[in-house]
A and B are shown apart, each in its own frame.
Chain A
Amino acid sequence: MDSLLKLLSENSSFTNAELAMMLGEPEDYIAAQIAEYEAQGIIKGYRALVNWEKVKGADVTALIEVRVSPKKVTGFDEVAERLMMFDEVDSLYLMAGAYDFAVFVKGKTIQDIASFVSRRLSTIDGVLSTATHFMLKRYKDGGVNIKEIDQQEDKRSMVL
């Protein structure tokens, strides 16, 4: 993978000067490269990595397995387009296997999610069935070990 993208995906707060040093490239080259990635839509934005477990009143997350009957012409895309419209839907994937869509949904409370599923999701044309799983604890998220960001303690000791 491109080393610049890899570094930015790990920590987007590195300055261009730092990135230039790490990669052994001139600073203006780094700036141009990043601008290029942004223009091409390869870099879509920069966000903070939040450990929601630690935030009081944070959202409840559920994974909903959705089975649908695909449309004749548009296949799964049409239902997907419909699902994507909801603000409650955090991520959406088409899956191979026992069900069709994996829908990650966020809500303030379990009741919010329950009502979203029963009133809005299940009623979409083409949805055959849903199975809702509430998330209890996050161990690793987006490649980040939550325990590690929680306790960044260096376990090494000085021996000599």
Chain B
Amino acid sequence: MIDYQQMLNKKIVDIKPSGIRKFFDIANEMDNVISLSVGEPDFQTPWHVRQAGIESLEMGRTWYTPNRGFTKLRQEISKYFERRFSVSYDPETQVLVTVGGSEAIDAALRCLAGPGDEVLIPQPSFVCYEPLTIMTGATPVIIETKMEDEFRLTVEEIEEKITDKTKILILPFPNNPTGAIMEREQLEEIAKVVEKHNLMVISDEIYSELTYGGKNHVSFASIDNMKERTIVVNGFSKSYAMTGWRLGYALGPKPIIDQLTKLHQYGIMSAPTTAQYAAIEALRNGDADIEEMRSQYEMRRRLVVGSFDRMGLECFEPLGAFYVFPCIKSTGLSSEEFCTRLLNSKRIAVVPGNAFGESGEGYVRVSYSYSLKHLSTALGRIEEFLKELKEEQKNND
């Protein structure tokens, strides 16, 4: 008998499975569940982009691409980033095409962090930063963002957690699950701390095209002197509804991209070829698609936020991504209790906030990456649920 526990790396064994998954598995067992829990666009990849992928297959373009990704694609990424966010990157040396933004995050952490280093991770946030940091041997240090600050990261919160071991700051904005964004003035403040303490920043900007209320995304690399300290992670999944194509990229200073490329070369070889052809088309002719999807999300966001407001559910106005993160503390339930009861009594699935870090306790994540009709039905059921909870509270008093 092999004792697999002995064989496995203890670091990976000790990492907890994702809390989003756990809840989804329960919901999956039930019938007629209306889900508001999925974290990817409901749109299909625009047809002209799919067609570019199909054409490349018809032409038999089925080989590896250069390790860094097609030159044409890197050039288009560079042009796009300058056009949208006013930061220019040299396609030859400062761009690496990766397997989704996820690979870029993993590679960036592995190239920068190691035993003895501390990595600052704001939470609530996407679930991958902490485990990936642990795998590098570095120590994750959690910064809890608060609803009072609209879940933005503040300078004071960073200063509190800085030690002489702090090396990296993760900037996950626009944020999953809170929908928070960071504006230029706030980033400028963060930049001062970054410079003062000689930190590197991994800025996960995967939701950069999904901001609302007239606010445009500001890339951290566009703040004075921050380009040289930042690895920007971005990709095609959210902006072009291309999640399944698995394509993202990292932008950063040459010495860092060189090492990322080495890691990518040994671990991955090159990102999917068909996806790269499709991505070139997306960057060249996809600006209108981004705008169309964004305006759809904007309507859905208003509907969900407005409805929660009418129901009396406390909720700060999220200006990014496609999530709303209402506070459910007034119900007297924990996040998990709230979600379990909502699922059992109304067959609505949302994700407990604590799946995104301890500080998410008291909140739930509601995805609005669904049709307006679907949202309208689901919101009706949530309203009924809240009314019933209130009745129950009254009777208990």
Contact = CB atoms under 8 A, between A and B. Distances in A.
A156 interface: yes
Given A7-B372, A14-B372, A158 B37 contact: yes
A154 interface: yes
Contacts of B37: 158
Interface string A15-43: 00110111110000000000000000000
Contacts of B20: 158, 160
B299 interface: yes
A89 B18 CA distance: 59
Given A7-B372, A14-B372, A158-B24, A22 B302 contact: yes
A129 interface: no
Contacts of B28: 158
Interface string B182-225: 00000000000000000000000000000000000000000000
A36 to B, nearest CB: 21
B38 A154 contact: yes
B18 A18 contact: no
B127 interface: yes
Interface residues of B, number: 25
Nearest to A14: B376
Contacts of A154: 35, 38, 42
Contact of B40 (A3, A18, A156): A156
A18 B304 CA distance: 9
Contacts of A23: 299, 302
A11 B299 CA distance: 14
A22 B39 contact: no
Main secondary structure of the interface of B (DSSP, over half): helix
A3 B372 CA distance: 13
Contacts of B126: 160
A160 B128 contact: yes
B87 interface: no
Interface string A120-160: 00000000000000000000000000000000001010111
Nearest to A20: B306
Given A18-B303, A21-B303, A158 B372 contact: no
B373 interface: yes
A11 B38 contact: no
A97 B130 CA distance: 66
Most B CB within 10 A of own CB, among A17, A21, A158, A159: A158
A14 B379 CA distance: 12
Contacts of B387: none
A10 B300 CA distance: 14
B307 interface: yes
Contact of B21 (A11, A24, A156, A160): A160
Contacts of B21: 158, 160
B18 A160 contact: yes
Nearest to A19: B303
Contact of B299 (A17, A22, A158): A22
A156 B376 contact: no
B307 A11 contact: no
B302 A160 contact: no
Contacts of B307: 18, 21
A154 B35 CA distance: 9
A24 B299 CA distance: 8
Contacts of B376: 14, 18
Interface in A90-119: none
B253 to A, nearest CB: 29
Nearest to B102: A160
Given A158-B38, A159-B40, 19 more contacts: A7-B372, A11-B372, A14-B376, A17-B310, A18-B372, A20-B306, A21-B303, A21-B306, A22-B299, A22-B302, A22-B303, A24-B302, A154-B38, A154-B42, A156-B38, A158-B24, A158-B39, A160-B39, A160-B128
- 3 nearest CB pairs, A to B: A21-B306, A158-B24, A22-B299
26 contacts: A3-B299, A10-B372, A11-B372, A11-B373, A14-B372, A18-B303, A18-B307, A20-B306, A21-B302, A21-B303, A22-B300, A22-B302, A22-B372, A23-B299, A24-B302, A154-B35, A156-B38, A156-B42, A158-B21, A158-B24, A158-B38, A158-B39, A159-B40, A160-B18, A160-B20, A160-B126
